[in-house]
C-alpha cells in the first residue's frame, strides 16, 4: 500500500503545474420545478420545514445502525455511479438530477438534498469553477468540462453521502491532475483513520498534499458527521486546523476535500447555494462516508467499480 502511494506521488509530482481554466464562466440557467417523492417513502424531518439543521453531537451507531449505514452508503454509491454513466457533452445537469431522483425513489429512499435548506433538487452538480452545491439546471455539459456529482440518500432513517469527479469527453491534463490529486488527498486521509486518531489529522494530511502540488484548499466547506442526521459534529476540516475530538468506534462522518487551481476565494450566487471561485479557477471534490471500526475504518460508499 505504501509503495503504491509513493508511486502515485512520484507520478503526480512530475506533471505540469496547474493553471486556470480558459473555458467560458458559468452562469445561471433555467431550473425546472421540484420533483415529487411518493408519499409512502419516509422523509427526513427537515423536508416539511425547509430548514438546514446541524446536530452538535457526534453520531455513533450500534450494530443495527451500522448495518443501516452500510445499506445507505451502498445505495448512494450505486446511484452516483449511474449518474456518472450519463455524463457526456450535450446532457444537462437537470437530466442527471431526474435520473438520480428516479433511481433513489425506485429504491424506496428519499434524496436527502431535496428541500434541505430549501435546496430545489435531488443532487448537487458542480461544474468547472463551481466549488460545491451546484443546482442542476438547463446548461448542457460541454466537451472538456469536469463535474462533481454529490449524492446523498435517506434510506431506512439513515443518510449515505458520497461524491466524485467525472470528465466530459476529452479533458485537458491539468484538469485531470487536479482531480487525481484531490482523490489521492481524500484516500490518503482515509487511510489514516482509526479509533483514537485526532479529527484534525485529516486536514493535516490533505493540506500537505495540496501544498505539494500547488493547489488551494477550500476551508469553509467541511466534512461532517452523518447518520440519522444529515449534518452533525465533528467539523472535518480539510486544511490544517485545531479542531478537537478523536475518532471513536461506531462513528460515521464524511471526508470531502475541495481543491482549487487558483485562489481559494469564493462567492455565492443569488440562489444562496451555488459557490464558485472568484478567479474562475477550476475545483475538484471527492467524498466518502467513513465508519470507524475497533481496528481501523471502513469506507461505506465504495463505488461499485471499486468493490
Residue 35 lies in a domain: no
Per-residue pLDDT tens digits for 241-282: 999 999 999 999 999 999 999 999 999 999 999 999 999 999
Binding positions for a divalent metal cation:
150, 161, 224, 256, 287
CA distances from 47 to 75, 120, 280 (A): 20, 11, 33
Residue 1 lies in a domain: no
Residue 59 lies in a domain: yes
Per-residue pLDDT tens digits for 93-118: 999 999 999 999 999 999 999 999 99
Distance CA 44, CA 10 (A): 45
Residue 75 lies in a domain: yes
The confidence score (pLDDT) of residue 21 equals 47
Residue 13 lies in a domain: no
Task: Give the count of domains, the chain.
Answer: 1
Look up the CATH number of the domain holding residue 260: 3.90.230.10
Residue 95 lies in a domain: yes
The confidence score (pLDDT) of residue 84 equals 98
Q: Is 84 helix (H, G, I), strand (E, B) or coil?
A: helix
CA distances from 12 to 5, 85, 163, 205, 286 (A): 11, 26, 22, 16, 17
pLDDT < 70 regions, the chain:
1-23
Burial class (CB in 10 A: 0-12, 13-18, 19+), 246: middle
Binding positions:
133, 150, 161, 224, 231, 256, 287
Please give the model's pTM, rounded to 2 decimal places: 0.93
Residue 173 lies in a domain: yes
Residue 151 lies in a domain: yes
What residues contact residue 177 under an 8 Å CB cut-off, 6+ apart? 12, 15, 16, 18, 213
30, three cell numbers: 433555467
The confidence score (pLDDT) of residue 3 equals 42
The confidence score (pLDDT) of residue 4 equals 41
- For residue 274, the enclosing domain spans 43-301
Binding positions for substrate:
133, 231
Answer yes or no: are the C-beta atoms of 45 and 244 closer than 8 Å: no
Amino acid at each position: 500500500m505504501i509503495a503504491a502511494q509513493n508511486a502515485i506521488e512520484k507520478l503526480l509530482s512530475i506533471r505540469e503545474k496547474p493553471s486556470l481554466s480558459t473555458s467560458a464562466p458559468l452562469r445561471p440557467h433555467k431550473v425546472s420545478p421540484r420533483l415529487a417523492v411518493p408519499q409512502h417513502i419516509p422523509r427526513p424531518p427537515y423536508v416539511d420545514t425547509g430548514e438546514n439543521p446541524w446536530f452538535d453531537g457526534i453520531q455513533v451507531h450500534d450494530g443495527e445502525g451500522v448495518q443501516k449505514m452500510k445499506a445507505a452508503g451502498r445505495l448512494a454509491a450505486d446511484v452516483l455511479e449511474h449518474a456518472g454513466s450519463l455524463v457526456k457533452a450535450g446532457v444537462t445537469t437537470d437530466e442527471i438530477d431526474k435520473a438520480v431522483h428516479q433511481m433513489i425513489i425506485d429504491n424506496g429512499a428519499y434524496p436527502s438534498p431535496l428541500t434541505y435548506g430549501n435546496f430545489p433538487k435531488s443532487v448537487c452538480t458542480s461544474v468547472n469553477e463551481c466549488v460545491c452545491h451546484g443546482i442542476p439546471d438547463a446548461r448542457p455539459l460541454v466537451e472538456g468540462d469536469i463535474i462533481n456529482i454529490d449524492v446523498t440518500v435517506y434510506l431506512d432513517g439513515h443518510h449515505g453521502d458520497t461524491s466524485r469527479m467525472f470528465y466530459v469527453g476529452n479533458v485537458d491534463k491539468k484538469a485531470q491532475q487536479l482531480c487525481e490529486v484531490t482523490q489521492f488527498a481524500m484516500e490518503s486521509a482515509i487511510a489514516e483513520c482509526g479509533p483514537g486518531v485526532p479529527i484534525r489529522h485529516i486536514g493535516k494530511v490533505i493540506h500537505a498534499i495540496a501544498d505539494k502540488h500547488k493547489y488551494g484548499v477550500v476551508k469553509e466547506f467541511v466534512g461532517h458527521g452523518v447518520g440519522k442526521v444529515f449534518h452533525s459534529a465533528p467539523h472535518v476540516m480539510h486544511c490544517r486546523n485545531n479542531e478537537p475530538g478523536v475518532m471513536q468506534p461506531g462513528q460515521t462522518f464524511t471526508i470531502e476535500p475541495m481543491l482549487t487551481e487558483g485562489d481559494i476565494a469564493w462567492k455565492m450566487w443569488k440562489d444562496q447555494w451555488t459557490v464558485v471561485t472568484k478567479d474562475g479557477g477550476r475545483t475538484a471534490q471527492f467524498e466518502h462516508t467513513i465508519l470507524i471500526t475497533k481496528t481501523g475504518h471502513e469506507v461505506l460508499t465504495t463505488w461499485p467499480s471499486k468493490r
